[in-house]
Amino acid sequence: MTRQIRWAAAFCLLLTVLLLLNAARIQLVQSATYDDNPANRRKDIARYAQPRGDIFVDGRPVTGSKDTGEQLRYERTYKNGPLYAPVTGYASQVYGSTFLENTEDRILSGTSPLLSPLPLIGDLTRELEPGGQVHTTIVPQMQRAAYEGLGGKQGAVAAIEPATGRILALVSTPSYDPELLSGNGIRAARDWSRLNSAASKPMLNRAIRQTYPPGSAFKVVTAAAALDAGVIGDVDAPTKSPDPYRLPGTSTSLGNEVEGCENASLRYAFTWSCNTVFARLGVEVGLGSMAGTAQRFGFNTRGLRIPSPVATSTFDTSMDQPQLALSSIGQYDTRATPLQMAMVASAVASGGDIKAPYLVDRTADSSGDTVGLTQPRSLRQAFNPRTAALLREMMVEVVEKGTGRNAAIPGAVVGGKTGTAQHGFGNTGLPYAWFISWAQAQDSATPAVAVAVVVEDASAVRDDISGGGSAAPIARAVMEAGLVRAAEREPQGWQQQQPEGWQQQPQGWQREQNGWPGARGRR
Choose among 219, 225, 150: nearest CA to 398.
219
Give the CA count within 13 Å in the CB-facing half-sphere of 44: 18
Spatial CA neighbour of 432 closest among 408, 458, 406, 410: 458
In a domain, 131, yes or no: no
Residue 118 lies in a domain: no
Q: Are the C-beta atoms of residues 462 and 430 closer than 8 Å to each other? A: yes
State how far the Cα of 430 lies from the Cα of 461, in Å rounded to an integer: 8
In a domain, 37, yes or no: no
Check which CATH number belongs to the domain holding 254 and give it.
Answer: 3.40.710.10
Q: Which residues are catalytic?
A: 216
Q: Are 78 and 84 in contact (CB under 8 A)?
A: yes
Q: Which residues does residue 78 pair with via DSSP β-bridges, in sequence order?
A: 63
Coil, strand, or helix at residue 16? helix
Tens digits of pLDDT across the chain (523 residues): 687 888 888 888 888 888 888 888 777 777 667 666 666 667 777 788 899 999 999 999 999 999 999 988 999 999 999 999 999 999 999 999 999 999 999 999 999 999 987 655 555 555 678 999 999 999 999 999 999 999 989 999 999 999 999 999 999 999 999 999 999 999 999 999 999 999 999 999 999 999 999 999 999 999 999 999 999 999 999 999 999 999 999 999 999 988 999 999 999 999 999 999 999 999 999 999 999 999 999 999 999 999 999 999 999 999 999 999 999 999 999 999 999 999 999 999 999 999 999 999 999 999 999 999 999 999 999 999 999 999 999 999 999 999 999 999 999 999 999 998 875 444 555 689 999 999 999 888 899 999 999 998 744 444 444 566 889 999 999 999 999 988 887 654 444 344 344 343 433 334 333 333 333 333 4
417 within 8 A of 446, measured Cβ to Cβ:
no
C-alpha–C-alpha distance, residues 297 and 291, integer Å = 10
The Cα 269–Cα 378 span in angstroms is: 31
Residue 448 lies inside a defined structural domain of this protein: yes
Buried-state track 55-80, b at ≥16 Cβ within 10 A, e below 16: bbbeeebbbbbeebeeebbbbbbbee
Q: Residue 130: what pLDDT?
A: 94
Q: Is residue 516 part of a domain?
A: no
Strands (E), 151-275: 155-160, 167-173, 245-246, 253-254
- Report if residue 20 sits inside a domain: no
Tell me which residue of 54, 86, 63, 59 sits closest to 169, measured CA to CA: 86
Residue 381 resides in a domain: yes
Which run of H or of E encompasses 213? none
pLDDT at residue 356 in the model: 97
Give dist(CA 48, CA 36) in Å, integer: 16
Q: How far apart are CA 392 and CA 278, in angstroms?
A: 18
| Residue 413 belongs to domain spanning | 215-511
Q: Please tell me the pTM assigned to this model.
A: 0.86
Q: What pLDDT does 505 receive?
A: 40
Contact 77, 66 (CB under 8 A): yes
Contacts of 337 (CB under 8 A, 6+ apart): 158, 207, 208, 209, 210, 211, 212, 310, 311, 313
128 domain-assigned: no
Alpha carbon distance 498, 494 (integer Å): 6
- How many separate domains does the chain show? 1
**Which long-range contacts (C-beta less than 8 Å, at least 24 apart) are formed by 506-510?**
507/141, 508/484, 509/484, 510/480, 510/484
